[in-house]
């Protein structure tokens, strides 16, 4: 059974097609890796799946809901850890989690309990009541991950969750995610540039390049199909080894300039 | 609950930035002292009476205008620092988000107005009637709501702070200087008096002047009704624009 379904998903920014005619499915309860070079359209796709961006055309079904038609209902179904920071720097770690729990309607007792538990899990227990602006980059990252898990969503989106984390924290995080995946049947949709991570964790992988899906399948299938030895080699074979523009540069900048003066 | 937690967030942010509170009091204080004492003698000679009494409601309004507009514009900061996305993907209506933020910003701006009012006591201002103080607080809160909603509306149309100077020079400053905060509205050249009539801050300040200084240009009821009407209009526009943000 598919928990996420995208059909002909397209998003244009001006004349640039960031995502063009993308089709894929994510099965309920699986760990799904969405891979691709910088600027390939990964984040744009995630923004559309998570109601932050309206698709130019195509449709999406998430947990049986169309997020374009009923964004509010769709938002109940997922949690997201963004690629860029999204914490309130002036609030403490605990207050950030508290605010999130309230927004997601987690009952008070359960909320307090999970907050304490998650803060310990990401090893921020002792810094729980310090304002986030005093945290290092890694600490903020850990806090964001704790926050994404707070409401135990049906689907958890993670946009490069392990970027900048040390191997210890990475391992720690993945074992926690695996446990939630198994015990709660939580579907995990993640992007990463660490391909060994995708090979190890993901049951299904989709590779997107220049706005189009270029390959889909289990890591083993992709390795076999390309006649390579690892997912990393398969990935490089499929997407080529030319360097890409930094993510968020071109399209994001263009979008911002256009938006500053133009009404939508 | 959503509204409450976002309101609380604005308050926490306010009380945690003491430097900002103190910093933003410098300007109203300077205006009170420099203009109040500087123009006081001429104002009295021209038959206007006590200028500090006249000026204080205007400066209280100024303090609220600045704080409220910037509370609204904080949406841009939240967008740049990413926090906006966190609220935008939450399963709560955009309307409750915008109401929570606006009430929070307006509460903060009202507090700022109260502090300016307390400061004005130090330069010799005395409210004419204690019984009318509650009316003054209502007027203060309405002004605060109005400009927080306006700030939110403006911020919803912008992606970064590049337009900040534009807002400062073409919205904040004209709104303040053309509102009758500093001068009486009676006997103005027609153009200026028409502009002042079109400025929503005019009515808020006039209501403050009615309740704090005991004199006003328009009837108090009209002042409050116009301000409340504009509040509703701006809240509706601000909410609509905010709900259309793509983060």
Chain center to CA of B235? 14
Q: Domain ranges in chain A?
A: 2-261
Is B180 strand, coil or helix?
coil
Distance CA A120, CA B238 (A): 40
User: At residue A258, does pLDDT exceed 60?
Assistant: no
Give B78: exposed, middle or buried? Use CB within 10 Å, 0-12, 13-18, 19+: buried
pTM, two decimals, is 0.84
Yes or no, beta carbons of B162 and A53 under 8 Å apart? no
Q: What is the pLDDT of residue A142?
A: 85
Interface with chain B: mutation pick from A18, A55, A103, highest number of B CBs within 10 Å: A103
Q: Are A208 and A22 in contact (CB under 8 A)?
A: yes
Computed on alpha carbons and rounded to an integer, the radius of gyration of chain A in Å comes to: 18
The parts of chain B modelled with pLDDT lower than 70 are: 247
H-state helical runs in chain B: 2-16, 18-45, 51-80, 83-88, 94-122, 133-156, 164-167, 173-177, 190-198, 200-212, 220-243
Q: What is the pLDDT of residue A254?
A: 45
Distance CA A257, CA B168 (A): 20
Give B16: exposed, middle or buried? Use CB within 10 Å, 0-12, 13-18, 19+: middle
Chain center to CA of A250? 21
Average of per-residue pLDDT values in chain A = 86
What's the CATH number of domain A2-261, 3.40.50.720, 3.30.2320.50, 3.40.30.10, 3.40.50.300?
3.40.50.300
Q: Are B132 and B207 in contact (CB under 8 A)?
A: no
Buried b (16+ CB within 10 A) or exposed e, A17-32: bbbbebebbbeebbbb
Yes or no, beta carbons of A103 and B83 under 8 Å apart? no
- Low-confidence winner among A210-214, A246-250, B70-74, B75-79 (lowest mean pLDDT): A246-250
B247 to chain A, closest Cα gap in Å: 6
Edge-to-edge strand order for the sheet containing A212-217?
A78-81, A155-159, A187-191, A31-35, A204-209, A212-217
User: At residue A248, does pLDDT exceed 80?
Assistant: no
Q: Which of B16, B78, B90 sits opposite A104 (nearest CB)?
A: B90
Dihedral angle of Cα A73, A74, A78, A80, to the nearest 10 degrees: -110
Q: What is the ipTM of this complex?
A: 0.85
| The two three-digit tokens of residue A140, written as one number | 């903020």
Confidence of residue A245 (pLDDT cuts 50, 70, 90): low
Across A21-33, average pLDDT: 93
Q: What is the pLDDT of residue A163?
A: 82
Across A72-86, average pLDDT: 87
Confidence of residue A249 (pLDDT cuts 50, 70, 90): very low
Q: What is the pLDDT of residue B124?
A: 86
Q: What is the pLDDT of residue B247?
A: 60
Query: Rounded to the nearest 5 degrees, what angle is found at the Cα of A63, between the Cα atoms of A61 and A65?
Result: 50
Distance CA A11, CA A175 (A): 34
Q: What is the pLDDT of residue B139?
A: 95
User: At residue A66, does pLDDT exceed 80?
Assistant: yes
User: At residue A119, does pLDDT exceed 80?
Assistant: yes
Yes or no, beta carbons of A260 and B2 under 8 Å apart? no
Interface with chain B: mutation pick from A102, A147, A158, A258, highest number of B CBs within 10 Å: A102
Q: What is the pLDDT of residue A253?
A: 45
Residue of B nearest to A83 (CA): B82
Confidence of residue A264 (pLDDT cuts 50, 70, 90): very low
Yes or no, beta carbons of B12 and A90 under 8 Å apart? yes
| The two three-digit tokens of residue B171, written as one number | 């919205």
Q: What is the pLDDT of residue A38?
A: 86
Yes or no, beta carbons of A52 and B85 under 8 Å apart? yes
Q: What is the pLDDT of residue A262?
A: 42
* Stronger pLDDT, B246 or A119, i.e. the higher one: A119
Distance CA B181, CA A83 (A): 47
* Stronger pLDDT, B7 or A145, i.e. the higher one: B7
* Stronger pLDDT, A203 or B22, i.e. the higher one: A203
Q: What is the pLDDT of residue A153?
A: 87
Distance CA B130, CA B135 (A): 10
């Amino acid at each position: 059974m598919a928990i996420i379904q995208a059909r002909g998903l397209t998003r244009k920014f001006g004349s640039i097609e960031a995502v063009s005619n993308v089709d894929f499915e994510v099965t309920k309860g699986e760990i799904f890796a969405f891979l691709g070079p910088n600027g390939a359209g990964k984040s744009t796709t995630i923004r559309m799946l998570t109601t932050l961006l309206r698709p130019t055309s195509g449709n999406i079904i998430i947990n049986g809901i169309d997020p374009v038609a009923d964004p509010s209902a769709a938002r109940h179904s997922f949690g997201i850890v963004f690629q860029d920071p999204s914490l309130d720097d002036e609030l403490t770690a605990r207050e950030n989690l508290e605010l999130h729990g309230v927004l997601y309607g987690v009952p008070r007792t359960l909320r307090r309990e999970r907050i304490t538990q998650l803060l310990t899990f990401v090893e921020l227990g002792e810094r729980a009541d310090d304002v986030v602006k005093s945290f290092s980059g890694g600490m903020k990252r850990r806090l964001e991950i704790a926050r994404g898990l707070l409401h135990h969503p049906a689907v958890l989106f993670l946009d490069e969750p392990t970027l900048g984390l040390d191997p210890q924290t990475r391992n720690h995080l993945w074992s926690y995610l695996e446990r939630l995946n198994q015990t709660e049947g939580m579907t995990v949709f993640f992007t990463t540039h660490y391909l060994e991570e995708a090979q190890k964790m993901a049951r299904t992988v989709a590779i997107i390049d220049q706005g189009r899906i270029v390959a889909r399948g289990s890591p083993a299938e992709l390795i076999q199909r390309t006649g390579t030895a690892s997912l990393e080699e398969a990935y490089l074979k499929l997407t080529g080894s030319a360097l890409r523009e930094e993510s968020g540069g071109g399209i994001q900048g263009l979008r911002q300039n256009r938006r500053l003066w133009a009404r939508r | 609950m959503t509204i409450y937690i976002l309101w609380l967030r604005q308050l926490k942010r306010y009380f945690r930035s003491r430097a900002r509170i103190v910093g933003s009091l410098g300007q109203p204080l300077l205006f009170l002292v420099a203009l109040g004492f500087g123009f006081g003698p001429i104002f009295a000679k021209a038959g206007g009476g006590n200028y500090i009494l006249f000026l204080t409601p205007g400066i209280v309004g100024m303090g609220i205008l600045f704080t409220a507009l910037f509370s609204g514009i904080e949406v841009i900061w939240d967008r740049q620092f990413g926090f906006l996305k966190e609220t935008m993907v939450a399963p709560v209506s955009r309307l409750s988000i915008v109401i929570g933020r606006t009430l929070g910003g307006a509460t903060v701006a009202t507090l700022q107005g109260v502090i300016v009012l307390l400061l004005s006591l130090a330069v010799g201002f005395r409210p004419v009637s204690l019984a009318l103080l509650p009316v003054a607080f209502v007027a203060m809160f309405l002004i605060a709501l109005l400009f927080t909603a306006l700030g939110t509306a403006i911020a919803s149309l912008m992606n970064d702070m590049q337009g900040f100077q534009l807002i400062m020079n073409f919205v904040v400053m004209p709104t303040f200087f053309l509102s009758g905060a500093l001068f009486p509205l009676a006997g103005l050249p027609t153009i200026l008096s028409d502009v002042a009539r079109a400025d929503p801050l005019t009515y808020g300040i006039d209501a403050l002047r009615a309740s704090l200084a005991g004199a006003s240009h328009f009837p108090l009821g009209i002042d409050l009704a116009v301000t409340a009407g504009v509040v509703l209009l701006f809240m509706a526009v601000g909410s609509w624009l905010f709900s259309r943000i793509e983060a």
